[in-house]
Structure 1
Amino acid sequence: MTNMISIARATEDSRYPSKHEVNAMAKRLVEYYPMIKDRSSSSNTEWVLDELRRIIQPTNSQYISEMKDRWEIFYSKVQFYGIMKKAMKPPKTLNGVEHAAAVFRALPLLFPSSTMPPRKLGANSEALFHVLTTSEDPDGFLHQRPLSCPVVVVSEDNCMIAIGSTPVATFDSERFHEGLLYLMAYYYALHLVLPHVYWCYF
């Protein structure tokens, strides 16, 4: 990957690799590191969290459990803060997926970004996740999405993390409230492992 960037930067126009070139390299990385492939509903997301532990805190064997505990605390505080700021209603009658979706939709309102989202995106929360309607096809949605950054796509059966138009992991819908934890792990892992490609790809 480093060689590919160096070669591209050495050209006359001093460019970064194209999206096509990055996709080709990503496929090679998956072939070289088969553990990246989606194997089960939990193994790939757990692998990403464990990879972060290896990079950030290599001696902390309790890293994943501690991270999940911190996420649960943050998630509960966001609910309280969101209701207090009237960014969301008390989700008394919502099921697990609807409850988590209401919390995640409130996040851009509670923590606004200075960067405007693409007009085609719609709600700011669509940058993080999308709940498919009964008539929507996951593959069609991903190919029409105006962003290439990681996203959680929620269907009736499960949740899927995709990067660009490529699915990389799935997990049970019951764990959707943990979806943004896994999403942030993918963001951060990509930024740490492929820092230069991260910016030109996304």
Structure 2
Amino acid sequence: MTLARKVYVVSTDLGWSNLVIAGLSHSFKTYTFFTENSVNDLWNLNSDDIVIYDRLTLGNPSIHLLSPMSRSGGWILANASKQDLEGAQGLIYLGWCGILESDFTFERLHKAVRMVASGQLWFSREDMSHSLRNIVRNQIQCSCSMEVLGLKYELSSKEQKVFMYLVQGFSNKEIAEQLNVSLSTVKTHVSHILSKTGKQSRAQLSLLMIE
């Protein structure tokens, strides 16, 4: 007997979570839905499981050092900002399976879930093509996680958070605002990250996710 696919809707807004489940349950009748208010317990998921992360109430996933690649399952970033869309290539490197802009989350959620459930990604064609070119160019498969990188390069937890923002294309000023620290502190973290990883520029850091 085939087990029903599990879908976890993660948000601190229970009303939003219930609306998502109410909408999806009509189309995905064999799926089992769960609500979570944090990602703390979402480890060692089955590869068929789907996680819908509410960016609006939980904030940027980098705050939680969230690397879906190390947790398994198909992760969808819902209610994403335009800034998230601009950093979509970094999200792909981190293992995200899809991204939904805030204004179109409910409109496109059904299609996104269906695509991810079938093993496909829900990103723009340009973002996926760029990421695939990088993988082919390096002739390696994505197998790295933030946890592995942190251990390999001895990055502190704060440096790991800054790293995850960097690969999403955030500027130093934007990172400082997200983490509520000074600009000089961010610059120091970036300098340490480049020194520890042996990279010469921020642009080279994304390649570490596929090395």
TM more than 0.5: no
Bigger Rg, which one: 1
TM-score, normalising length from structure 2?
0.29
TM-score, normalising length from structure 1?
0.30
Higher relative contact order (CA 8 A, sep 6+): 1
